Structure 1
């Protein structure tokens, strides 16, 4: 009878080992830079049972394998117990529930980085032999990642619409893990669910250039939280990749505002999701126009990104389909300030005639986006 072990059984025992010898007194790392030292051992000899089942197989290092098979240092019951101990260890350690996403992140990131290093150094560098060896370590790391993420899914931002959901990203990653395990030993290794790069964004490993989340108010709320935590340094807007710069544990870091999964998670963690009053992409575009004219702007308060000073002029940004007299009155604008309606879908009708009349009375200037370009040019010429 063939001693060949089925692919499904091999996957299970590789994953069960978590990359370490199953002897609880040994636990030596089985994936070395020099190669894979794992050995498959039959608990009850194959010649006696012809048994290649998962229950009769165990992963050991060469020393423990020799001591079991040839030196009689361990009994069959000892080795069976090792499998139960490893299962209990796995359940105990990796069923832990974390209190915060940051705690979860501290466990997840090293595993993701390890997998990334193996992939980049071996697969992308076409070192096929080393890649084949090290895939087992990825399999082991993935089993840990799967368990931790499933146990702590409540910490991941979620939305009923998958395109707005970080949990949907995690679920795709888990599907990728399962497919990676299933196809590891196949010759073709055709994988349809590739590693979702959004995972690296979510856990702060590598920013992703996504779309802007619409709410300026959510960004303002996040800035207030970061200020309270002593982490906020500055915000840079009016550029292609606007960002908030924070400082944590003496390390400065840029949080890009188009790094969608990460920003979405930060909003969720800090309860910063706010209804959209002013759209961020429209605000950032207007600020880019100002910078493109060689002008500088300053925020009156970083907790309010909708008010700036340009050449001594206060500009207030709003986003209204049609600015009414009532809405203008509610804004209570200061004399000589400029109010720019970023909502230009309604053309010249985005500001009502009554609002223009009130603006004359209270001595403020109202602008549509079309009028804004000429106004900024006029400011630039007066410098």
Structure 2
């Protein structure tokens, strides 16, 4: 008669306990290689002495340490039991760590997500079932690590009652990790909580294409902070995929402005959320028109996206239901300035008569979007 099968729940606990490395503290070699895992389950009290396949009587070792324990008798039972206690202490210490910033946490979690992504794409999507079965254990180990870190550092994730929440996305990810672990032993592996792709965006693994975050003001605050910290490399507005390039840990990183989960996290980390006055999609559209028509422009001040210079003409973009005399007075634009209302709801009616009269006195020109096009072509 063959040996009793070890319960799936016990195997999952053993994988999680090992953290993907041999349990011998003097070895700790990775149990996952390019060709699959080298995990071997060792009985602390020999199986023949009690047929004990419980979690407490099992640990995972590399083949060398398993041989040295079982056959060469280089380690005694008490010593091997102590390995489980030592690893438990190490795991608790690792998971209880509080990171000071999201960026610190990201540097630990991102490589694990990249590893999982590679395994999933190469073996699961690639329909290499044999290797997927081997490497699925590594995904379980990576997931256990990620979950432990996240659950102890949820305070670092962007959360909001107004905006979409990265915290909510991560909580769904944790639910996915739990379901993935609990359904590993089922034949069909039918899962209800799918991997939220937004997680890859949050941790900079892979960008996603979403709608542009609406607030130009939030982006400007973030840019000014990057300038202050000498981390801003470039600004790319006026494109189908607008972006900024910043320095993260001395490396240049492109942040696409439609990659909203990542952008939300950056705003949250740097306290940059501001109410929307000028919609970023409208501003990007008008700047794209300039680029597509070969009209060169510069930002009057780096970090101020709403004010540009074209052929020595200062242009300010606003987003008002109707430009009023009061608004124009508060704006106090200098003479020879062109003000363009991007809120083009009803042509010339989005500029009041009183505002036009004041603009004449101030030597300021007021335009709505449609007549801005003919004006700027004339400048060109």
Superposition TM-score, scaled by structure 2 size: 0.93
- Out of 19-28 and 249-258, give the one that drifted further: 249-258
Q: Residues 251 and 35 (structure 1 numbering): CA distance in 2 closer, same or farther, change over 3 Å? A: closer
Structure-1 separation of matches of 2:137 and 2:179: 14
Structure-1 separation of matches of 2:281 and 2:342: 10
Look up the match of 1:100: 101
Q: Residues 148 and 249 (structure 1 numbering): CA distance in 2 closer, same or farther, change over 3 Å? A: closer
Structure-2 separation of matches of 1:99 and 1:251: 20
CA contact (8 A) 1:244 1:254 kept: yes
Q: Residues 156 and 103 (structure 1 numbering): CA distance in 2 closer, same or farther, change over 3 Å? A: same
> C-alpha offsets along residues 266-293 of structure 1, whole Å, 9 cap, x if unaligned?
1111111112121111111111122232
Structure-2 separation of matches of 1:304 and 1:70: 72
Structure-2 separation of matches of 1:53 and 1:366: 79
Where in structure 2 are the equivalents of 1:128-143 lying within 5 Å? 128-143=129-144
1:361 aligns with 2:361: yes
CA contact (8 A) 1:220 1:302 kept: no
Superposition TM-score, scaled by structure 1 size: 0.93
Where in structure 2 are the equivalents of 1:208-219 lying within 5 Å? 208-219=208-219
1:123 aligns with 2:124: yes
Look up the match of 1:318: 318
Structure-2 separation of matches of 1:252 and 1:155: 23
Calculate the aligned-residue CA RMSD, in Å: 2.0
Where in structure 2 are the equivalents of 1:39-78 lying within 5 Å? 39-78=40-79
Total equivalences in the alignment: 379
Q: Residues 173 and 286 (structure 1 numbering): CA distance in 2 closer, same or farther, change over 3 Å? A: same
Structure-1 separation of matches of 2:362 and 2:310: 21
SS at match of 2:195: coil
- Out of 66-75 and 10-19, give the one that drifted further: 66-75
Structure-1 separation of matches of 2:135 and 2:355: 68
SS at match of 1:41: strand
SS at match of 1:164: coil
CA contact (8 A) 1:172 1:196 kept: yes
> C-alpha offsets along residues 25-62 of structure 1, whole Å, 9 cap, x if unaligned?
22222112233221122223334334332222221222
SS at match of 2:316: strand
Look up the match of 2:33: 32
- Out of 234-243 and 109-118, give the one that drifted further: 109-118
Cα deviation, residue 119, structure 1: 2.0
Cα deviation, residue 67, structure 1: 3.1
Look up the match of 1:158: 159
Cα deviation, residue 341, structure 1: 0.9
SS at match of 1:40: strand
Structure-2 separation of matches of 1:208 and 1:144: 24
Cα deviation, residue 318, structure 1: 0.8
Look up the match of 2:115: 114
Q: Which runs of 5+ in 2 are unaligned?
A: none
